[in-house]
DNA sequence: ATAACATAGATAATCGATTATTTGCTGAAT
DNA sequence: ATTCAGCAAATAATCGATTATCTATGTTAT
């Protein structure tokens, strides 16, 4: 029998559209599809075992986050950004993140300090590359990297600014994936250590400067990663 | 007969979901619904004469832009932000827009200067209040206001930063609507004139300072406008 | 009277099928 | 050979109906 016994907090079987959305988002961020590839609702519906409506909803959400393009009456596609757009994303980060970092350093409390230390520790102990995942940064490292950078900013206590960071980070990560640029010579560990030290020492000037340099190098590693130019 | 003669560029009958989306967005931004009001797909579908699927797609887009909330299995609703969130939006603008304005002033070309002048002219000549629209700023003035502020920043030439501005502006306008705060004593005209002058004189320091003051006053006018506290 | 339970109605989520648009192909006309 | 109209297949967009979930109301046991 289909008794829907719901004793207080049930595992909360999430909506199908949520599941499809997460799957789609992960697939795109993981680089499963090449830039410009069509995302056909019917194919996705079949492989996910759901109807077109839920796929459509998920795709619309993905488009809203900039993880896919939509051409009316012509379907959805993995975005293929121009070099110019990659540079704009990087510049936006260089413009905004230092400002937020300064606020964070000024306002962050002890709990924030502790979380910065924890995030840095995890990042430093996670290998950036593992054989199984080829040329790409390991997914564990990518996540630890994101959490470290976000935690650095979380002291600002402003959810709107953090949401802005999240958007820029997502766009930036997409760029990193498509660039397939390994850049093994780069001293990630040192850069992140200096960031952590300056932040915990409440040295906003140094922290902001280190962050801008960090972002500039990231941007440099991404130039020339755009296969096509599909910008409006 | 249903011959779809398509001689080159046809009026391009847009998708229904696009129309519904625009209608929904306008209705929310115009303040047609009170914060917290449910946005029922069935009602909207009936009054728009479309199926549930298109309404659903439009609603998902609207949620993505922060113009509506979604509670899984519980439907969509007009967002009711907390006071804290309004302040965060205002702070985000104060943090980000001055930085972009500086870039814009540094990089803007003659065409940008001309567009700033045009936008300011239009704003200055548009009445902020008209009897027909009651206590609210007139929609013509609101649009001219948006265009002026955006044009000021457009010299930066960075679409990602401008998109960030657009998001913050939308959130900010929603706040203004819900606050229903007329604030007739405020010298909008003078503030905008000083902004224009400083920008065209390429005086970034003054322009940034004026902008921050402008935004601070806007924020002050919005405190105490949150009817409920539905923040996570 | 109150709290746990059951049931009915409303509404959200999903589905399967239909309609509309685009795209690629074929063949005739230049 | 090239261009362009006219089909045909693919796929995007939409619809009407079904299923799942929530909410409010009413009932019964303490």
Token couple for A75:
């379907």
Over the stretch A1-23, which tens digit does the pLDDT of each residue have?
333 333 334 455 789 999 999 99
Residue A53 lies in a domain: yes
Q: Are B134 and B109 in contact (CB under 8 A)?
A: no
Token couple for A165:
């960071």
Q: State residue A220's pLDDT score.
A: 81
Residue A73 lies in a domain: yes
User: At A38, which CATH number?
Assistant: 1.10.10.10
Q: Which positions in strand D are less than 7 Å from the protein's CB atoms?
A: 11-17, 20-23
What residues have CB less than 8 Å from A96, skipping those under 6 apart?
A161, A164, A165, A168, B95, B96, B99, B161, B164
Judged by DSSP in three states, A92 sits in: helix
Q: State residue A221's pLDDT score.
A: 73
- Same structural domain for residues A67 and A110? no
Given the structure tokens 């029998």, which residue do they identify?
Answer: A1
Over the stretch B191-222, which tens digit does the pLDDT of each residue have?
999 999 999 999 999 999 999 999 998 888 76
Q: Are A70 and A63 in contact (CB under 8 A)?
A: yes
Mean pLDDT of chain B: 89
The candidate with the shortest Cα–Cα distance to B178, out of B23, B65, B37, is B37
Given the structure tokens 């519980």, which residue do they identify?
Answer: B74
CA distances from B189 to A102, A191, B27, B176 (A): 33, 47, 28, 18
**ipTM exceeding the 0.90 mark:** no
Element (H, E) at A58: helix A52-64
Over the stretch B99-113, which tens digit does the pLDDT of each residue have?
999 999 999 999 999
CA–CA min distance A126, chain B (Å): 31
Instruction: State which residues form the domain around B199.
Output: 83-222
Element (H, E) at B215: helix B204-222
Q: Residue B6 above 60 pLDDT?
A: no
- Same structural domain for residues A151 and A215? yes
CA–CA separation, A36 and A69 (whole Å): 9
Mean pLDDT of chain A: 89
Q: How many CB atoms lie within 10 A of CB B12?
A: 9
CA–CA separation, A170 and A154 (whole Å): 17
Q: Are A90 and A218 in contact (CB under 8 A)?
A: yes
- Same structural domain for residues A143 and A62? no
- Same structural domain for residues A27 and A137? no
Q: Are B65 and B174 in contact (CB under 8 A)?
A: no
Q: State residue B223's pLDDT score.
A: 66
Over the stretch B74-84, which tens digit does the pLDDT of each residue have?
999 999 988 89
Q: Which residues partner with B69 through β-bridges?
A: B77
Q: Residue B135 above 90 pLDDT?
A: no
CA–CA separation, A107 and B76 (whole Å): 35
User: What is residue A10's DSSP assignment?
Assistant: -
Residue A231 lies in a domain: no
Domain boundary among A62, A77, A92: A77
**Of A181-185, B154-158, B172-176, where does the model show the most confidence?**
B154-158
Burial track A116-143 (b if 16+ CB lie within 10 A, e otherwise): beebbebbeebebeeeeeeebbbeebbe
Residues in chain B: 232
Over the stretch A80-108, which tens digit does the pLDDT of each residue have?
988 899 999 999 999 999 999 999 999 99
Q: Residue A36 above 80 pLDDT?
A: yes
Q: Residue B3 above 80 pLDDT?
A: no
- Same structural domain for residues B71 and B87? no
- Same structural domain for residues A190 and A140? yes
Q: Which positions in strand C are less than 7 Å from the protein's CB atoms?
A: 11-17, 20-23
Gap from B4 CA to D8 C1', in Å?
16
Element (H, E) at A38: strand A38-39
Per the structure, the count of domains in chain A is 2
Residues of chain A in contact with residue B72, where contact means CB-CB under 8 angstroms, are 12, 14-15, 18
Higher pLDDT, B149 or B6: B149
Taking CB atoms and an 8 Å cut-off, how many pairs form between chains A and B? 83
Over the stretch B8-41, which tens digit does the pLDDT of each residue have?
344 557 899 999 999 999 999 999 999 999 999 9
CA distances from B13 to A68, A139, B18, B48, B201 (A): 23, 43, 10, 16, 45
Nearest nucleotide from residue A42 CA, by C1' atom: D11
Higher pLDDT, B180 or A128: A128
Across A126-140, A151-165, A192-206, B42-56, least confident range: A126-140
Q: Are B123 and B141 in contact (CB under 8 A)?
A: yes
- Same structural domain for residues A24 and A41? yes
Q: Residue B166 above 60 pLDDT?
A: yes
The candidate with the shortest Cα–Cα distance to B63, out of B14, B25, B89, B19, is B25
Q: State residue A33's pLDDT score.
A: 95
Domain boundary among A77, A100, A128: A77
Q: State residue A1's pLDDT score.
A: 30
Residue A4 lies in a domain: no
- Same structural domain for residues A20 and A126? no
- Same structural domain for residues B160 and B50? no
User: At A90, which CATH number?
Assistant: 1.20.120.530
The candidate with the shortest Cα–Cα distance to A184, out of A221, A154, A211, is A221
Residue A44 lies in a domain: yes
Q: State residue A166's pLDDT score.
A: 98
Residues of chain B in contact with residue A158, where contact means CB-CB under 8 angstroms, are 88, 91-92, 95
CA distances from A184 to A136, A188, B85, B147 (A): 11, 9, 42, 45
User: What is residue B65's DSSP assignment?
Assistant: T
Residue A213 lies in a domain: yes
- Same structural domain for residues B129 and B59? no
pLDDT band, residue A211 (cuts 50/70/90): very high
Residue B229 lies in a domain: no
Q: Residue A180 above 80 pLDDT?
A: no
- Same structural domain for residues A63 and A97? no
- Same structural domain for residues B176 and B61? no
Residue B201 lies in a domain: yes
Q: State residue A13's pLDDT score.
A: 75
Residues lining strand D at under 7 Å (Cβ) are A 2, 4, 6, 13, 38, 40-42, 52-53, 56, 70, 72-75; B 15-17, 49-54, 57, 73-74
User: What is residue B67's DSSP assignment?
Assistant: S
Domain boundary among B77, B96, B126: B77
């Amino acid at each position: 029998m289909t008794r829907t016994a719901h004793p207080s907090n049930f595992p909360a079987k999430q909506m199908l559209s949520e599941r499809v959305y997460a799957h789609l988002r992960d697939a795109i961020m993981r680089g499963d599809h090449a830039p410009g590839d069509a995302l056909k609702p019917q194919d996705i519906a079949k492989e996910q075992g759901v109807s077109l409506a839920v796929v459509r909803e998920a795709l619309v959400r993905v488009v809203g986050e900039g993880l896919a393009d939509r051409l009316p009456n012509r379907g959805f596609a993995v975005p293929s950004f121009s070099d110019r757009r990659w540079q704009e994303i990087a510049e936006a980060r260089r413009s905004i993140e230092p400002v937020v970092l300064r606020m964070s350093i000024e306002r962050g409390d002890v709990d924030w300090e502790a979380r910065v230390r924890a995030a840095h520790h995890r990042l430093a102990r996670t290998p950036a590359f593992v054989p199984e995942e080829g040329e790409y940064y390991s997914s564990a490292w990518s996540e630890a990297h994101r959490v470290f950078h976000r935690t650095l900013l979380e002291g600002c206590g402003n959810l709107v600014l953090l949401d802005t960071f999240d958007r820029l980070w997502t766009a930036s990560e997409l760029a990193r994936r498509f660039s397939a640029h390994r850049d093994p010579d780069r001293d990630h560990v040192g850069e992140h250590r200096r960031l952590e030290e300056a932040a915990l020492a409440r040295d906003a000037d140094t922290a902001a400067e280190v962050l801008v340099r960090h972002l500039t190098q990231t941007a440099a590693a991404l130039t020339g990663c755009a296969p096509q130019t599909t910008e409006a």
